[in-house]
A and B are shown apart, each in its own frame.
Chain A
Amino acid sequence: MSYHSEFLSHISEIKLKVTASTKEELFQGALAGMASILGPKISPSLPRIEEMIELQSLNLNTLLVDFLSEILTKVEISGIIFTGAQINNLTNTSLQAKLIGFKTGVFQTQIKAVTHHGLDITQDKNGIYQVIILFDI
């Protein structure tokens, strides 16, 4: 898996920058970044949980927010932290993936929402994708 993520400074919220070689990896990197904010206390003995997710959205930007938001909702309802995803199909408006997670119940940081603020997935001349995501915490 080839993605890189780093946290940027923001006065009140959390700003995550993700770069990746493919759109799929960009989504995976964003999910891993969100999981690291939630800071799950995952014990190696916890059973692995797999769950399918299917989404449709307006465009690639809103699809990424919807993807992360949907997972955030699942986290809060089920207490399962999803740390990874096997993305089976990804277009600019739809996604089908298998989420991989662990039931923990307690997390370190609360994320209220994944925002659309300034979110714009871009691709540079070398084909590298980049996005900056602002999480309301």
Chain B
Amino acid sequence: MRKQDLIKINDYLWEIPKSFRSDMLVGARFYATEKLLEDVLKDKSLEQLVNLCTLRGIKRYGLAMPDIHEGYASPIGGVAGVDIQEGIISPGMQGYDINCGMRILKSDYLEQDIKPYLSQLTDEIYQEVPSGLGQGRKLKINISALDKILEGGAKELVNTGYGEPEDLENCEAQGCLDNACASAVSLLAKKRGQNQVGTLGSGNHFIEIQRVSNIYDNKIAEIFGLFQNQIVIMIHTGSRGLGHQVATDYIREFLGLMDKYQIKVADKEFACVPFKSSEGQRCYEASQAAANYAWANRQMISYYIRKAWNNIFKQKRNKLMTLYDVAHNIIKLEQYQIDNELRQLAIHRKGATRAFPPGHPEVPEKYRLAGQPVLIPGSMGSSSYVLHGTEQAEQSFYSTCHGAGRVMSRHEAMRRISGQQLKKQMENQGIIIKVGSLSDLAEEAPFAYKNINDVVDIVHQAGLAKKVTELKPLAVIKG
């Protein structure tokens, strides 16, 4: 892909016309500045975006957010709106980590209130929440209890005492998708998930203790209950091995079914079947169940963080309340106007955060005037952001970025800095690091990612979501 293949729509939006490749069913659009475009053109992400535009039933445009980078099948940051009457369902388009997402817990404490306890609190959270591969919980839940989680999501855990009703109110889909069906999930997937409810995992998953460092919109910050120097805790994880196995199972099955449905894909990882087929429906039910598992996982992690918090502060008056919880790898049914007709689309988001506007019925009532809180993590050591949804984001199927986006391979990052050096650098900036694997830490070096401020500025300027607050890390907990 060359720059001359692109049409510049405006300072933040580019188009690859449908005529670029004969198998494209729609054109492609992605959000970037001239500066970020240089990084985008260095890898194969735009070729992957073109591949996405060949999916049967795709409407409007194949889209990519400003944190776009090369993955497999769709680029990371890809969004496809597929008409469910004529189109497909593709588990690979969603990715293996089903409902990988973000949750923020907010406190009433200021930075100065917790500073003397920060190190102790970080240690306590690290002890409570297992992280890293193989670090499951000691207690395995039985299959029938797991089935309840698959169909009940975070709701099942809150109803059994592992959270507050507000946790559900302030969660996408109230933490439970109704179409989930436990019987569509294989026994192997369930076995992988038996001891992983309440575990962080490794890679780029993390818990961060942060402070609100900047407020851009006082009115909306007030609606979200956010204020200057407030302490919040950000959680990034997903459906762990259970979700990975669900995606593996259905991609394997669909590869053998594409001849039957006369479907061809540009990348085998897009393996898909018609959404309305019996196989497609079963995949959708399993995918929803895995999404519920992920919400339950973040709910259980919240429970353990609260336990750690109470162990340190030993007072109930200062509760950790959920600001919001939102997925960035998911398939959801949403309605959009397509050719002057209201159509139901299966929105496939892979590394893209949903961002519903003010007044949307799925936005919690208390946030409805402001729009959905949009939670965007930065790379390690850099800022994260809370934004709010806008009506303008209809152009992106109400989707926005999910992070900074890599610009360097993990191997290259590890070649340039050791985990020990990076830990020291972070500590010199006053950030506490608690990590299971120092070599994994080096992979997440800030220079391996785009500048989160640039990425979020594109989102803000393009109107996909608007900045509310900036968050600065005080402590990082990783696998």
B336 contacts chain A at the CB level, 8 A cutoff: no
* Chain A residue at minimal CB-CB distance from B189: A73
SS of A interface (majority): loop
A115 touches B203 (CB 8 A): no
> Which residues of B are found within 8 Å of A11, using beta-carbon distances?
43, 69-70, 406-409
> Which residues of A are found within 8 Å of B271, using beta-carbon distances?
116
B411 contacts chain A at the CB level, 8 A cutoff: yes
B479 touches A110 (CB 8 A): yes
B192 contacts chain A at the CB level, 8 A cutoff: yes
Contact with A along B185-223 (1 / 0, CB 8 A): 000100110000000011100000000000000000000
A7–B415 CA distance with the chains assembled, in angstroms: 13
* Chain A residue at minimal CB-CB distance from B194: A77
Contact with A along B271-305 (1 / 0, CB 8 A): 10000000000000000000000000000000000
Please judge, given known A-B contacts A58-B256, A116-B251, whether A12 and B406 are in contact too, CB under 8 Å. yes
Q: How many residues of B contact A (CB 8 A)?
A: 45
B247 contacts chain A at the CB level, 8 A cutoff: yes
B248 contacts chain A at the CB level, 8 A cutoff: yes
> Which residues of B are found within 8 Å of A79, using beta-carbon distances?
134
Partner of B202, one of A65, A73, A110, A115: A110
Binds B, one of A19-27, A28-36, A101-109, A121-129: A101-109
B440 contacts chain A at the CB level, 8 A cutoff: yes
26 contacting pairs across A/B (C-beta < 8 A): A7-B411, A9-B411, A12-B409, A12-B410, A13-B71, A14-B410, A58-B255, A73-B241, A73-B248, A76-B192, A77-B188, A77-B191, A104-B134, A106-B133, A106-B135, A109-B440, A110-B202, A112-B96, A112-B97, A113-B248, A115-B72, A115-B92, A115-B269, A134-B72, A136-B95, A137-B410
* Other A-B pairs, 5, CB within 8 Å; known A9-B412, A113-B244, A117-B268: A12-B70, A76-B133, A77-B191, A106-B133, A109-B437
In the A-B complex, the 6 residue pairs with the closest CB atoms: A117-B72, A116-B268, A110-B133, A110-B202, A113-B96, A106-B134
